[in-house]
Amino acid sequence: MQQARKPSLIFDRWPRYASHRPWTVVLGALLLIATLIVGAQVVGGEYKDTFEIPGTESQDAFDLLSERFQGLGGGDAATIVLKADAGFDAPETKTAVADIVARFAALPGVAEGGVVSPYDAPGSISQDGTIARFDANYTVPAFSILTEDLDALFDLRDELSGKYDGIRVELAGAVATAVQEEPGNSELIGMLAAIIILLIAFGSVVAMGLPILTALLGIVPGLMLVKLLAAFVDLASFTEQFAMMISMGVGIDYALLIVTRFREGVTSGLSVDDAIARAMTTAGRAVLFAGSIVIVSLFGLWASGLPFIGWVATATAFVVATLVIVALFVLPAVLHGIGPHIDKLTVPFIATKHTSGDHGAGTRWARLIARYPIVWVILSLALLGTLAAPTLSIRLGSADAGNNPESSTTRRAYDLLSDGFGAGFNGPILAVFDIENEAGAAAIQTLPEKLQALEGVAFSTPPFMNAAGDAGLMTIIPTTAPQDEATSETLDRLRAFLATELEGSGATAYTGGLTAVFSDMAKKMSDGLPIFTAAVIGVSILMLMVVFRSVLVPLKAALMITLSVGVGFGVVTAMFQWGWGQGLIGLDSTGPVESFLPMMLFAVLFGLSMDYEVFLITRVHEEFLITGDGKEAVERGQAVTFRVIIAAGLIMSSVFFAFALGDQRVIKEFGIGLGTAIIVDALVVRMVLVPALMHLFGNAAWWFPAWLDRLLPNLSVEGPALPAPAGASDI
């Protein structure tokens, strides 16, 4: 049994203070939120896609290009793709193209002389004479272009598309892809799903509203902090949507756990204040611990070596931390005001009261698992292994514009370029040369003819020299699409060829461009993944040992969560890489899995799955401290967490699946991967596999060597051992 401990500030004294002064706490929280909203509107920054990859050849190429080609400003280009039904030799087409070129050259932000007519640039008109392309070179990188300048670009495309009969105008290139599709109604769909599930779980509109309200009170200030962070660092354009996707599920789940324990206390006869204190002493501790693991996992993404990934994770960690703070410090005050009315506004035909512990669905299911643990272990492992198997063939890279919806101009431009010039035109490779002397300058002049004989290269432009003559630039077009594995192989051959060919010549080559950037990103992420995985798992095992004083429980937790993550990877691979069932989410083409997805998915899923581990094992540990019987503790702990874990899993997975309905492929990947892994973790891992294993472990699950007990500090998630409330049951 646990020894009595002094009341803690967060879990004992603060909840009672918040109960006695609820309006002070709520009004103070609202004032702070309002201050953050105003501050974010005044000081907050804009999101920027920087994609810097320190220590890679593509980054070296970009740096050299920015330094030596000042006339280009280190800027990116919008590629304008034209389709003329009458052909580009027709007089009326030539007149229209002259006007189109002049209009794009006059756009704000476009470099002086940064637009060249396709008639004046060899190779810019397709062999059949119906498709042409030209670039509008901007003075700054795509992520630095002003919003109004991007709007002007797309507005001009819309205007010109309807101006000339038989001529289509589409946009491609880095600048065009800098404009993100609107996120749509994913958040609203996810919230609606959460409301329906909570209504079924609680049977009361009031009880349903508490987790939703708490989540909103945490999400709003969290996103304002992200907006403020964007004023000081470059945050990727998908940061806010990614943070929203994670925080909606986390915020509702954390509040759900505390509200469930509060209702249990009220139902068992405790006063509102005592029920709040009990909920915070038990569930509040679990929320703090679970949230801490999510935050640790997110900060671990700095191990990727990619600043933009690290800052996205940091921003998301800010929101998660805000949600934990609201759940611990504001929710007790809200519970005091609503407490006596927690089961008001009931939903017809849905019970609001707890069922008896001897007859509840959770108890019946827990007893079924306890009766045949070995069978359940075998069946669940077979299911998890099947779903995770596709992970073995995962291919990392970056999906190109050919995966965009057909309604987007970038997808239509991609198809036109592929038809007119070959798929490789959608992903040119830039070779930037650092020239030391005249011999180096002469050496690069001989390269185009040699490069065009290289496997995988369609053709190469002649070198373009800067004004100082100390740098050169070539564009190399591969024969395959940017996302094809063959293109990565071509890049590797190209780099090896240039290094060998220019050795000792007085010139050094650096290959860049988006194709090279994403290839380097995939390699860097793959190299960092083992170290990151080992670090996150190691820290989590250590934290669980400190809390639960067990060896088997933390090791089992790490293995189970890794299985859940594997399921997420497997389903993403099967759907996005193999094409299985992709029509269900509005996709019509396949491609590699985004290179940064595995590490980010692992961090998020490991943290979120640990939530359910903590929710379940905390209750099992509580029961073990009371009964001293390992098997009975598992059965009782599973019974009382049955509904809350299933509801939490359904809510979080529904939120994630809702985001898979948007247009952005990368958000679809996150939504499917996270949603699948979470629902499988809640329904299969936590409700079947973990309890079955714990039954097999018996009391040995709580074995902890004396030397390790002395070495590690002693913390507790569940707080002081409390007598089981009368009627505690299947919540």
pLDDT classification of 356: cutoffs 50, 70, 90: very low
Average pLDDT over residues 75-85: 87
In the three-class reduction of DSSP (H, G, I as helix; E, B as strand; rest coil), residue 431 is classed as strand
pLDDT digits (tens, 9 = 90+) for 650-672: 888 888 888 788 777 888 898 89
Report the range of poorest mean pLDDT among 129-133, 336-340, 680-684.
Answer: 336-340
pLDDT at position 691 over 90: yes
pLDDT at 433 over 90: yes
pLDDT of 731: 34
Among residues of the chain, what percentage have pLDDT more than 70? 92
Q: Is 159 exposed, middle or buried (0-12, 13-18, 19+ CB in 10 A)?
A: exposed
How far apart, in whole angstroms, are the C-alpha atoms of residue 558 and residue 97? Answer: 61
**Is residue 720 within 8 Å of residue 5, measured between CB atoms?**
yes
Q: Give the confidence band of 179 by pLDDT, cuts at 50, 70, 90.
A: low
Does residue 109 register a pLDDT over 80? yes
Of residues 206 and 416, the one with the higher pLDDT is 416
Flag whether pLDDT at 132 surpasses 90: yes
If one compares 339 and 182, the residue with the highest pLDDT of the two is 339
Stretch (H or E) spanning 346: none
Confidence of residue 528 (pLDDT cuts 50, 70, 90): confident
| Three-class SS state of 21 | coil
Q: SS3 of 168, please?
A: strand
Write out the H or E segment, with its range, that includes residue 138.
Answer: strand 131-138
Query: What is the model's pLDDT at position 491?
Result: 93
More confident residue, 568 or 522: 568
- The predicted pLDDT at position 30 comes to 93
Q: What local confidence, expressed as pLDDT, does residue 379 receive?
A: 96
Cα angle value 122/413/411 (rounded, 5°): 150
Task: Please report the pLDDT score of residue 721 as a whole number.
Answer: 46
Is the model's pLDDT at 7 over the cut of 70? Answer: no
Q: Is the confidence at residue 344, as pLDDT, over 80? A: no
How confident is the model at residue 142, as a pLDDT? 73
**Helix-helix angle 285-299:239-267, to 10 degrees:** 160
Among 178-187, 310-319, 367-376, 650-659, name the one with the lowest average pLDDT.
178-187
Pick the closest to residue 437 from 361, 508, 531 (CA basis).
508
Name the band, by pLDDT with cuts 50, 70 and 90, for residue 70.
Answer: low
By the 8 A CB rule, do 651 and 252 touch?
Answer: yes
pLDDT for 342 beyond 70: yes
Average pLDDT over residues 342-353: 62
For residue 298, how far is the Cα from the chain centroid?
Answer: 10
The confidence score (pLDDT) of residue 728 equals 38
pLDDT value of position 6: 56
Range picked from 357-371, 504-518, 584-598 for highest mean pLDDT: 504-518
Q: What is the pLDDT of residue 185?
A: 64
Inform me whether the pLDDT recorded for 568 exceeds 70. yes
- Give the pLDDT confidence score for residue 330 in this predicted structure: 92
pLDDT surpassing 70 at residue 351: no
Least confident of 180-189, 298-307, 366-375: 180-189
Q: What is the pLDDT of residue 72?
A: 54
Where is average pLDDT lowest: 322-331, 431-440, 456-465? 456-465
Can you give the pLDDT at residue 502? 92
Would you say residue 386 has pLDDT above 60? Answer: yes
Report whether pLDDT(4) > 60: no
pLDDT at 167 over 50: yes
pTM above 0.75, yes or no: yes
Q: Which pLDDT score, from 0 to 100, does residue 724 have?
A: 42
Long-range contacts of 156-163 (CB under 8 A, 24+ apart): 156/103, 156/104, 156/107, 157/80, 157/409, 160/100, 160/103
Assess whether pLDDT exceeds 50 at residue 230: yes
The pLDDT, as a whole number, for residue 717 is 58
Calculate what percentage of the chain has a pLDDT beyond 90.
30
Q: Considering just the CA atoms, what is the radius of gyration of the chain in Å?
A: 29
- The pLDDT-based confidence of 118 (bands split at 50, 70, 90) is very high
What average pLDDT score do residues 352-359 get? 48
> If pLDDT is split at 50, 70 and 90, which confidence band does 294 have?
confident
Sorting pLDDT into bands at 50, 70 and 90, what band is 484?
Answer: confident
| Residue 32: per-residue pLDDT | 93
Mean pLDDT, residues 330-337 taken together: 89
Contact 680, 384 (CB under 8 A): yes
Query: Greater confidence, 202 or 431?
Result: 431
The neighbour count for residue 714, using CB atoms within 10 Å, is: 10
The dihedral sign for the CA sequence 82, 88, 91, 97: positive
Question: In the predicted model, is pLDDT for residue 722 greater than 50?
Answer: no
Q: Residues 553, 542: contact at Cβ < 8 Å?
A: no
When pLDDT is cut at 50, 70 and 90, the band that residue 180 belongs to is low
At 1, is the pLDDT very low, low, confident or very high (cuts 50, 70, 90)?
A: very low
Q: Is 259 left (phi over 0), alpha (psi -120 to 50) or beta?
A: alpha
* Contact assessment for residue 617 and residue 553, using Cβ atoms and an 8 Å cutoff: yes
Q: In this structure, which amino acid lies at residue 615?
A: F
**More reliable by pLDDT, 676 or 339:** 676
Confidence grade of residue 355 (pLDDT, cut at 50, 70, 90): very low
Of residues 715 and 175, more confidently modeled = 175
φ, ψ of residue 475 to 5 degrees: the values are: -110, 125
Q: Which of 430, 303, 327, 308 is nearest to 11 (CA)?
A: 327
pLDDT at 73: 47
The CA–CA distances, whole Å, from 331 to 172, 307, 408, 615 equal 49, 35, 44, 18
Please name the residue ranges forming H helices in 660-689.
665-680
What confidence score (pLDDT) does residue 186 get? 66
- Tell me which residue of 188, 320, 302 sits closest to 611, measured CA to CA: 320
Dist. CA 337–CA 216, nearest whole Å: 18
Residue 569 has a pLDDT of 92
Query: For residue 725, what pLDDT band results from cuts at 50, 70 and 90?
Result: very low
Nearest to 522 by CA among 646, 658, 395: 395
- At 106 the pLDDT is 92
- Average pLDDT score, the chain: 84
